[in-house]
Amino acid sequence: MPKHSVTNHIALISRFIGMRARTEELIKPLHVEDFTPQSALFASPPKWHIAHTTWFFEEMILKKFNAKYIEFNQSYGYLFNSYYNSIGERVERTSRGLITRPSVDEVRLYRAHVDKHLTAFVQENPSDEILNLLELGINHEQQHQELLLTDLKYTFSLNPTHPVYDPSISFVDRKKQEEGWLKIEDGLYSIGADNEGFIFDNELGKHSVFLHSFSISKSLVSNSEFIHFMEDGGYSNHSHWLDEGWAWVNETKSEAPLYWKKVEGKWHQFSLAGLKPVDPNAILTHVNYYEASAFAKWKGMRLPTEFEWEAAAPDLKWGDSWEWTSSAYAPYPFFKIAEGPEGEYNGKFMVNQMVLRGASPATAPEHSRITYRNFFHPHFKWQFSGIRLAKHN
C-alpha cells in the first residue's frame, strides 16, 4: 500500500466520505424487505454488506488506535466479522440472512456513528499506518459495492415476478466496439505492481515473465457467439469440457449462462432492470470458468493466462465484464503475508481458484487497474464474468 503524508490526508478523508455516500446511493432503490434475505451461500444480504464494511473501519482503525472510542454495539463484532480468524468468532456465513436484528435503521445509525468518529479521529491522527488502513477500507468497501449488486441480482432472480432494481441499469447491454486480434511478440514482460498508488498485496512482487508469441482477441465474446456454441450441442458434448467441468454440467443440468431462460421460444435474461430479451450483439456475461474453457476449446482456441492478459491490456479495451484467465490464483514471487488481520485479506485464499482480470460495469469507479487480480472458484458465475479468447501464433 502507498505511503501517505500529512498533507494529503484531507483528500483521503474526502474520498472516504464520497465512497460511503455511493453505498447509500446503491441501497436507495431497495425496500426494507430486500435487505435481509440470503439466497445462497455465496450471496450475502445487503444489510450484512453495509454493516460489515462499517465493522471493518471500526475494527481495523477505531478500536485498534482510538482508546477513547466507544463501540456502537459490542455484539456487532461477532455479527459482522466475515472471515478474520485473528479477530475472533463470528456468525456462520450460511446464517447471515437470519440476522433480522439489528434493523436496517439501526445499521444505518451504526454507519453514521462510525463515519462521525472515524473522520474526526483521522483528521487528528493522520499517521501513515492509519491512512493506509483507511485506504484499504475504502477499497474493501468498493469491492462490497460490486458484491452488493451481484448478490442482490441473484436474490431478485429467484423471484418469479422479476423485480426491478433500477430500470436504467442492466449492465448486460454493452456492445462489441472492436474486432480482430492483437499480436504480442516473444519477450520478457513485467508483471505485477510496485508501491506506486494503492494496490492489494496479491498484486505486489513486480517480476519478469517470458511469454511466447500469441494473439489475443480485441473483443469479448458476444451473446450470439455463445448461442452458436449452445446450438451446436456445446453443453452436451463432453469433448469440449474439462473433466471437472463436465461433472458440473451433469450435476447442475446447465444449458445456458446464468439468468438466461426461454420465453415463448426466445432467450431472455434477468437483469437489474428486470427480465429482458437477450441482445445477440451484447457482450456475454455470467458464465463460469468451465463454460469459458469449453467455449474456447469449441472455437479451437484457449483462454489467455493472466500474464498474457496483463501484457496485452494496455492495448485492449477492457471493463465490460470480468475476464476468465487460465491461471490459477497463486502468489507472485516475493509475496509476503502481512502481520495481523490484514494478512488474512488475500493470501489464505490462494488455492482452488482461478484468476479473472479487468473489471465489470458493476465495478466501483476508480477501482480497476491493469494489475488487479480478481479470483473465484471455477463453478461460480453470479459475477459479471465473460470471455476473451487467445491463440498461439
pLDDT number for residue 3:
52
Q: Is 287 exposed, middle or buried (0-12, 13-18, 19+ CB in 10 A)?
A: buried
The cell numbers describing 358, all together, are 479487468
Q: Say if residues 363 and 385 touch (Cβ distance below 8 Å).
A: no
For residue 199 the three cell numbers come to 494496490
Closest CA to 287 of 215, 223, 344: 223
Per-residue pLDDT, 2: 52
Within the chain, which residues score under 50 in pLDDT? 1, 5-6
| Omega cis (within 30) before 37 | no
The residue count for the chain: 393
User: Burial, 322: exposed, middle or buried (Cβ in 10 Å; 0-12, 13-18, 19+)?
Assistant: buried
For residue 49 the three cell numbers come to: 454488506
pLDDT value of residue 24: 98
Q: What is the pLDDT of residues 360-375, one digit of tens each?
A: 999 999 999 999 999 9
Residues with Cβ within 8 Å of 70's Cβ and at least 6 positions away in sequence, in order, are: none
Cα–Cα distance measured from residue 191 to residue 204, given in angstroms and rounded to the nearest whole number: 9
Any idea where the domains of the chain sit in the sequence?
6-157, 181-392
Nearest to 86 by CA among 110, 60, 66, 62: 60
Give me 171's grid cell.
449492465
According to the CATH classification, is domain 181-392 in 3.40.50.880? no
Cell numbers at 383, concatenated: 459475477
**Quick one: pLDDT at residue 196?**
77
